Amino acid sequence: MRTFTRCALGAAAVSALCLVGTTARAQVDTGTILGTVKDASGAVVAGANVTITHEGQAFTLSRVTRPDGTYIFTPIRIGTYRVEVESPGFRKAVRRGIELNLQQQAVVDINLETGQLTEAVEVTAEVPLLQTQSGEVGQTITGATIKDLPLNGRDYTMLARLSAGTARPQQGARAPLQFTANGTRPGQNNYMLDGIDNNTSNVDFLGGTAYVVKPPVDAIAEIKVLTSSFGAEYGRAGGAVLSATLKSGSNAFHGSAWEFNRNDGLKAAEFFENARGLKKGLYNSNQFGFTAGGPVVKNKTFFFADYEGSLTKQDQIWQVTVPTQRQRDSGFTDFSDLISGQTGTRGPDLLGRTVPLGTIFDPATTRQVFSGQIDPLTGRVATGNGYVRDPFPGNIIPVNRLDPNAVKLMSLFPAANQAGLINNFATNRLNRETIHTFDVRVDHEFSANDHVFARYSFGGTTRHKPGPFEGPADGGAYAQGDETGRTHGLAVSYTKMFSASLINEARFGFSREYINRLQPLGDDTNNIPGQYGIQGIPQVAGNGGLPLIFMGDLRQFGAVDWLVAERLSNTLQLTDNLTKIYKSHSFKTGFMAQSIKLPWTGPPWSRGRFNYDGFFTSIPNRQDLSTGRAQFLLAPSKSTVPGGVDFVGGANQVQASPFGEIGSQRSYFGAYVQDSWRMNSKLTVNYGLRWDYFSLMGDDNWEQANFVPGPPGQAQYIIPARHKDIALSQSFKDVLAKDGINLVYSDEFGSGIGRAQKNNFAPRLDFAWQAYPKLVVRGGYGLFYGAFENRGGNPSLGYNYPFQYTLNYNRVNDVTPVRYPDGSIAVIGRGLASIPTDNTAAVSGPGLNLRGVTFDYQTPYVQTYNLTFQHELGSHHAVEVGYVGSRSSHVETFVGSNGVTKILPPGLNANLYRTFPDFTGGFNFAAPVGSGTYNSLQTKFIRRMHKGLQFQINYTLAEARANYGDLLSGGGFGPGFRGYNLVGWGGLDNEWGLAYFHTKHALIVNGTWELPLKGAVLGGWNVSWILMAYSGQPQTIGCTVATTSGAGCVALLVGDPYAGKHDVSQFYNPDAFKDPPAATTIGQTDFAPLGGTRTQVTGPPFRQLDLTVAKQVRVRGAKLELRAEAFNLTNTPSFQLNTASSGTNFSNKATFGQLTATANNARQVQLGLKLYW
């Protein structure tokens, strides 16, 4: 905390020194009113008295026009204002109903008429159509729009997608309501509430949102979404800014109350409920709450409060793969339907044999053959050197070959209730969610020059989300389990007006999010694994349940890894902004300091993870994933053929870790200077400079280590010197020395163990030129640093030995079983008994994963630029057309390290060709080396409210390209990087493709229509709508067989991928893809085996129309509103990409390209009642 204080004071000093000659726009949750006063001839009027009055809270501010007739009020809180202008010899001018929005520079020009001051000319202002004061790209969403539009779940952040240039996040986003803006990753966005940071640093976005506090929509005064070329006062992230402000109380008591209900009687059946013959699932949702605000002391003190509760029960459809009835009835010996239920082949093997997919090969027949020699068992001549094995006759496994523990576990799968091999079990599982939130805000005027407000927010959440299976079989993913969450938010602001031209505002903020998610049976310490013959699983609270087991294409089995998950995000923030008005300039300078604590518990594999992926039951080097269930069942045995390989089988990968916690922390500092220069009545230029500093991710207890790659003899493994007393295993020290990795103890580089970039200076420039009264030309450029993306848990340096380390035991080829350090084979019954995870001195060095983050870390940044034309059409419409682009640099990417350095033929031991060959595989490594580009045409057509109708149509035509994926979810990214360490490959140069969030077409239409009908029955009706239509997101199709050893592969596109059915049963054409040729020579310079270009295809589009119909009735000074809302009114299903192995294996035409899940819900109708007073 001492460092945080020193840096905060330093940033404040720099900010103050820079004040002379610095400039800016309004504070992030305030605005500006400015204009020019002229007489009837058009001459400017100097010395006129201008007074603005906040119509809700009655506070007033006064200015005198300058010699050029201009005036400015900034920064002032948002709301509705009245502007009055008085000057001797002229009538008093009054402009009412001026709506000041977030970050708006509202131009209110006044023309005075000759006459007496006692005479007044009053005009009611209209909402301006043209943006004439800045070149930023974005959109303001007013409180009326927020409460009128249909919002499924009533989450105001969904409205960010109404802005041009935004689109859905990649599939599988941990925070599903995130959005991508102008070519940046969703994790680069910045959420603010009341001018205070509202971002969660919760690892993995465990709570399902990217923000901490979520007030109800009826409590939000306004939202501002900025997507490009915004001012220097914004920092922290390189993407969009979503800034919202809570309503304030006023001199009148106002409030609202509501109740909304959705249930299965008003809901259509889901697409796959109908397709699978399932009964429509249970659904019941109630949301209820209120807002209230008013004066505590009139004209002085005001309060606002809100509460919302949400109770939801909803069945979730699960479609997963389980053993067939034939397989169960045979006691898991008869797998003949693995062949009859699939199409396609595997082979040929080295004896020239090609077999149907699903053919199970007997590991006990594994033997070596030599090119040109006859195999004595088959009489066939070998076509090359390597290994072969023979299939089980009839695909039937002798019962005496089965592992009894595996059979017992396999019996926990439920019986199939659907036809076929894939997705043959469908069920609805009931999810339950309870949420309670409230906010309280108080505003107080100490004097005309001193204003303070404070807000406190609280939220409490409980969720129950079961997996597809009951009991210890579980099968749930990371999102399933029993979850408890608590959020707190505090904001305090003090604004001091030293003079009419010098204003300071200081803010303090604190946010806290706590989430705990526990897997089913997580606290059961009665040794459930031992009941199924699995040894060595630690029995402590939070680690209950079976280990995670993957058996080929069957649904994962047991409790998912990384649970229990306990996450905490604490953000402490101090901000100060100083504004100086001088002539036609608004100078501004400020700083921000944040201290972020994010301790967490999330043991990766403390129960163990065991993979049976069919490598030992397929043709060697021709993996058939569908045979993985047989690999799990078979007990390794001595060879049954002469000269065969003994004990082939067991798991092909095992992962293990201790059970512990991590104390992550980091800090952020920013300072800026900015000027908003109104050069004349037609041209405004905004320019500024921002400096940002992002510390590396450290640890409160310095319990981290960092692997710094380099050639043998120069590579380093750095452990903080204060932990030199922790005993390291001799095995680890020996393997470091053998592979030329220097063991370094040092505290020199802080607990983040690296050097962060300090010269992050970001220029900002934009302009707005009103070429003539109905045309504005705007443009801008900005550089934005952002190093706060959620990296997730797995890359954390806290998971490095000797702290919360992870151990990996991987197959070296398809014919050698995985053995533990004690020599035992990795069968399921052995569990973790042979893997020490509670004694650092006993750890086997070769099994460790050495994680790393680039030591000299370059801060990721985005450059954005735009040129936009906006034209007013008539009095109530405007059209806008613009080019918006961006370029992302130094994007953090998981490239890995210790990969193979040369192309290898399949089947070779890849470990022998790694830089550090005595470690068993590649390492996790995060490096800021990614790049991306974005180019777009963005158009808007706007109708402001006139005759009861307002609407906006946004269309974006865009292309986003990148050579990186997401840090948390892959979407359609497909196979990982093919060979970052390959000499001659070029790192990421050959990994370019469409960005995984790329959306070529985005059409958004929203509006409100107050029907022009009258009478008690026909009057008071209005309709609101949101139409969203997006083209599909890209997908990369990988290869079906290994073409190298240790490197990846992308399939070749050889035809039209959309030919053929192109429907739910087969969205892509399997004949359009082909595996590249396999490598034949060690170190060959032909990289053809790595395949073709990424993102060969684009998935299904997304289309949805949401509609609200409301009827308002006046009741004794109050207003009652009856609402009916339909989400997905047309019941149009939109589908997810199928990223499962069965859906991307083009060699199996029976399942390739099948769409198995929807991206939206079937039609839901919600009935609501709202009362306003």
- Residue 110 domain-assigned? yes
Q: Is the pLDDT of residue 1016 over 90?
A: no
pLDDT in tens, 820-829: 999 999 999 9
Q: In whole numbers, what is the pLDDT of the chain averaged over residues?
A: 94
Rounded average pLDDT over 481-494: 97
The domain tally of the chain equals 1
- Cis upstream peptide for 75 (omega within 30°): yes
Pair type for strands 775-785 and 861-873: antiparallel
**pLDDT at residue 9 in the model:** 39
**Can you say how many angstroms the Cα of residue 397 is from the centroid of all Cα atoms in its chain?**
45
User: By CB neighbour count within 10 A (0-12 exposed, 13-18 middle, 19+ buried), where does 335 fall?
Assistant: buried
Q: What number is the average pLDDT over the span 317-337?
A: 97
Amino acid at 649: G
Q: Would you say residue 86 lies in a domain? A: yes
Percent with pLDDT over 90 in the chain? 88
Residue 1143: phi and psi, rounded to 5, are -85, -15
- Concatenate the DSSP letters of all residues of 457-497 into one string: EEEEEEEEE--SSSGGGB---TT-EEEEEEEEEEEEEEEEE
Q: Looking at residue 871, what is its pLDDT?
A: 97
Q: In Å, what is the CA distance from 168 to each residue of 135, 153, 383, 443, 1129?
A: 25, 17, 51, 37, 20
Tens of pLDDT, residue by residue over 870-924, are: 999 998 999 999 999 999 999 999 999 999 999 999 999 999 999 999 997 789 9
CB 826 within 8 A of CB 651: yes
The answer to whether residue 60 is domain-embedded is: yes
Q: What is the pLDDT of residues 671-710, one digit of tens each?
A: 999 999 999 989 999 999 999 999 999 999 999 999 999 9
Residues forming a β-bridge with 923: 897
pLDDT at residue 27, rounded to an integer: 55
Q: In this predicted model, what pLDDT tens digit does every residue of 520-548 receive, in sequence order?
A: 999 999 999 999 999 999 999 999 999 99
Looking at residue 11, its pLDDT comes to 42
Between CA 184 and CA 686 the distance in angstroms is 24
pLDDT tens by residue, 53-90: 998 888 889 999 999 999 999 888 888 999 999 999 89
| pLDDT tens digits for range 450-480 | 999 999 999 999 999 999 999 999 999 999 9
User: In the predicted model, is pLDDT for residue 233 greater than 60?
Assistant: yes
How would residue 264 be classed by pLDDT, with cut points 50, 70 and 90?
Answer: very high
Which of 13-22, 35-44, 1102-1111 shows the lowest mean pLDDT across its residues?
Answer: 13-22
Q: And the tokens for 614? A: 């069919």
1115 C-beta neighbours (distance < 10 Å), count: 11
Per-residue model confidence (pLDDT) at position 404: 97
Maximal CA-CA distance, the chain: 117
How many residues in total does the chain contain?
1173
565: tokens are 């998950």
| pLDDT in the model for residue 28 | 66
Reading the block at residue 340, the tokens are: 């009859």
397: CB partners within 8 A, 6+ apart: 332, 333, 335, 360, 630, 633, 634
Is residue 1107 scored above 90 in pLDDT? yes
Reported in sequence order, the residue ranges of 924-1069 that DSSP labels E, i.e. its strands, are 925-946, 949-962, 993-994, 1001-1010, 1021-1030, 1034-1035, 1052-1053
What is the structure's pLDDT at 448?
85
- Asked if the structure places residue 105 within a domain, the reply is yes
Question: What local confidence, expressed as pLDDT, does residue 116 receive?
Answer: 79
Is the residue at 63 inside a domain?
Answer: yes
Q: Of 504, 495, 584, give the one whose Cα is nearest residue 71.
A: 584
| Under 8 Å between Cβ of 428 and 439 | no
Quick: pLDDT tens for 630-644: 999 999 999 999 999
DSSP E strands, 169-229? 180-181, 190-193, 196-197, 220-228
- Residue 728 has a pLDDT of 96
Res. 128: pLDDT tops 70: yes
pLDDT digits (tens, 9 = 90+) for 1055-1087: 999 999 999 999 999 999 999 999 999 999 999
Give domain status of residue 90, yes or no: yes
Which of 899, 930, 960 has the alpha carbon at shortest distance from 1090? 899
Domain-embedded: residue 631: no
pLDDT at 1029 > cutoff 90 = yes
Which domain does 31 fall in, by range?
26-124
Instruction: Determine what percent of the chain falls in helix, strand and coil, rounding each to the nearest 5.
Output: 10, 45, 45
Rounded-to-integer distance, Cα 916 and Cα 898, Å: 6
Question: CA 582 to CA 70: how far, in whole Å?
Answer: 11
Q: What CATH number did the domain enclosing 68 receive?
A: 2.60.40.1120
C-alpha pair distances (Å), 1114 with each of 256, 294, 1016, 1109: 14, 21, 10, 17
Instruction: Yes or no: say if 94 and 84 are a contact pair by the CB < 8 Å rule.
Output: yes
User: Are 369 and 353 a contacting pair, CB within 8 Å?
Assistant: no
**pLDDT for the residue 664:** 96
Mean local confidence (pLDDT), 106-135: 82
What's the CA gap between 520 and 467, in Å, rounded? Answer: 9
- Tokens 């109380």 locate to 249
Q: Note the pLDDT tens digit of each residue in 3-35.
A: 444 444 344 433 333 333 333 344 567 889 999
Is residue 638, in this structure, part of any structural domain at all? no
Give me the pLDDT at residue 105, please: 87
CA distance 996 to 994: 6
